Structure formats: structure tokens, C-alpha cells
Amino acid sequence: MTEKRHAPRVDAASALEYHARPRPGKIATAITKPCETQDELSLAYTPGVAAPVRAIAQDPLAAYLYTGKGNLVAVITDGSAVLGLGNVGALAGKPVMEGKAVLFKRFADIDVMDIEVSSPSPYAFIETVASIAPTFGGINLEDIAAPHCFEIERALVERLDIPVFHDDQHGTAIIISAALINAMQVQQKSLNDVKIVCLGAGAAAIASMRLLIKLGARKENIRMVDRSGVIYAGRDKLNSYKQEFAIDTGLRTLAEAMVGADVVVGVSGPNLISVEMVKSMAANPVVFALSNPDPEIDPTLALESRGDLIMATGRSDYPNQVNNVLGFPFIFRGALDVRASCINDEMKIAAVMALAQLAHEPVPESVRRVYRRSEDDMVFGRHYIIPTPFDPRLGERVPPAVAKAAMDTGVARIAYPAHYPKL
């Protein structure tokens, strides 16, 4: 299983050609009602459109009946942290937002408008999003730099009555948590007891550690490491989000923190972890090297360095890909289907558990064909701890779990859909 699987290489010319032809971009709008006759035109626009206008004016929730609001998500960025490219600006982030729209539609049949906001401040961004929010059934925040992303999401969650979800935070946290729960089971360890090193201290890192704590990890067992080393109590110039994970310790470097660690979660940058650091970890360790496209350590080298290691990356050409597309389309699908007013912690945890459980079940042959892997190669264990993105069962398991959690916590506004499995 240490053999490297090479994903198709994509050169810039091919990528530009793909995005330019036969028409620019990756998404478009579609008409969902017939409009071929004078009568149909009169229904689509004036005078017929006055009827739903009056209905919505009397009852705003009628917008879910007479418009596309209930299946429409806004994917919104300020362009301040686009992929690994940094602060490229709002307009340059548009191809990524369109790509996110493709994933929403392909995997969960959710319509998307991508919105790129040139904003001078977090406050201005918040005001812009809040002002346009009535159009949508949900808001997916994307590629917004920390620490502003925390402030932006918190403010919008408080102000809006529709789901607001920063995927770089919570989507990543949900997939990491599901994979780690299963990795702990394979390695016969408990999340409550393991020593965790988190390499990175941005949005994904902080959200992931917060969710793992809700699932049973202990904050005193977490060592968070940023560019300046271990985040320890008393260190200068820590923002409030990093301060949350400052601990009393004499450890100062990543190498020191990794000695005896059970788990390393890397959400930082390439080639920061050495083979020697992996060898210094506890027995039966877990390494999630999630920097893309180049992980914190080459998986082949890590796996060759010790046979008791569970390895995960963000790449499709290795086993155990931690990929946000396992989560956000299906989480929004469940939230939209019960018109949830938010995506709360219980809904996130429900998604975690649904994803973790699915990896224990036999994998359909159709999925094995996509990944060119044998039946023995995709059985729950060291090299298969998380489902793959093209598993059709994701849409069957995750949305109902999220919808049920929304109902159980009182944030759903309509009943559990009839086409979902019975409660």
C-alpha cells in the first residue's frame, strides 16, 4: 500500500482551455418552468408574478414555496485566502467559487450563485452578505483569511436565520474528525487519551481542534504549532483564537512536540515534517498530512519509515483522502431539506458520525472501479478509514443524519422529508 498512485497532471494550458471553451466559466443559470407561449410568459413575469409577490409579502416563508430560495446557496469569498495562492483578491477567486458551485450541484443537486466581494474590512463584508442574504437558503463562506473569518462567520450566524457555514473551518473539521475517529479504532486508542499535535493554527486547525474536543479529545493533550513554534502560555503576540490553545509546556519546536505523540494533524504547508519526527512518535501513530498539493511529509517516505503508521493526505492519489467534498454538499442538503435556521454543533457531529460509520460498510463495486482498487484494498482498516468522494451512499446517509439532528435540536422549520429513511 506504499506504492504511489499518480493522479493525472494538469498543465496550465489545459486548465485555461477547459475554463474558456466552449463558453467561459463552469456554471450557468437554467430556466425551470416552461416559457414558450404568451400565457406562460404572463405566468413567469407580469401579471402572473404578482401573485407570489403578494404571498411572500404576507408571509416571508412563502419564498420557499414560490422561488428557488430553498435550494440556493451563496458561495461567497473576499479572495483573501484562495487555496494555497493567498490573498489574490475577490475577482481572482471566482474560478474557485465556480468550482465549488460545480461540486454542490454534482454531488447534492444544490444550486449556487458564486459571489466575490471586494471589501475594505470585515465589517463591510459582513454588511454586504447580510444585505443580500434574503436571496438564499444558505451561505457558504469560502477562502477568507484567519482571524477575520472567525469574526465574519460569528456575526453572520448571529444576524441571519439561514445556515451560515465556513467550509474551510467546519468542513475540514468534520472530515478530519470522522477519519480520526476511525483511525483511533484501528490503532486501538481512545480519542480521550491521545496526545495530538496540530501543525497549523489557522481557520481549519482551530475549528478541527474545537470539534475534536467536543468529540472527547482533551485540550491539555493538544499541542498547536504555528510558524513560530509551539503555542504556549505566556508567548507574545497571540491572538485570542491561538490563545485558546496555549498550554503550560516547555516544548518549543515541532520536533519536540512530536516526540511520543499519537496523532499529528497537518493543515499548514509542504515538507515541514521529517522522517525522524515520525519515527519519534508513539507506537501505532496517525499522521494526517493535509497540505495540498504537497503534504507536510511525503506519504511514501512516512509509510516506509514505520509499518504501524496510519497515513492520510488531502490528495486523491493516495489512500485515505481527507476531502471536504465528503461533507459540505451533503451537510447543506440535509439543512436545506428541513429549512434549518443554522448549522449547529449537533448537526456537524451527526455528519461526523455518519461519515465514520459508512467507512465500516462494504464498498460498492462502482466505487472500486472509479478508484481502480480491489475489494480487499477498500476494507475498513489502516488504508481505508474514510469514504471516497464518489461513493453514492454519501447522499443517502449524511443529509438524513444532519436533518434529523436539526429536528432534534429545534432548528428545523419543516418536517423530516418523506423520501428520507424512516426515523
As annotated, the active-site residues are 45, 100
Helix-helix angle 148-159:203-214, to 10 degrees: 60
User: Which cell numbers hold the place of 105?
Assistant: 450541484
Burial of 294 (0-12, 13-18, 19+ CB in 10 A): middle
**Cα three-residue angle 384-327-103, rounded to 5 degrees:** 110
The answer to whether residues 265 and 272 touch, using CB atoms and an 8 Å cutoff, is no
Q: Which of 399, 362, 364, 368 is nearest to 381 (CA)?
A: 362
Instruction: Count CB atoms within 10 A of the CB of residue 349.
Output: 18
Question: Whole-angstrom Cα distance, residue 335 to residue 325?
Answer: 16
Instruction: Report the 10 Å Cβ neighbour count for 366.
Output: 10
Three-state DSSP at 140 gives: strand
| β-pairing verdict for 72-77 and 111-116 | parallel
Distance CA 286, CA 409 (A): 33
Residue 220: which residues within 8 A CB-CB, separation 6 or more?
Answer: 247
Contact indicator for 164, 342 with CB cutoff of 8 Å: yes
SS3 114: strand
How many angstroms separate the CA atoms of 331 and 336, rounded? Answer: 9
Which uninterrupted H or E stretch holds 95? helix 94-108
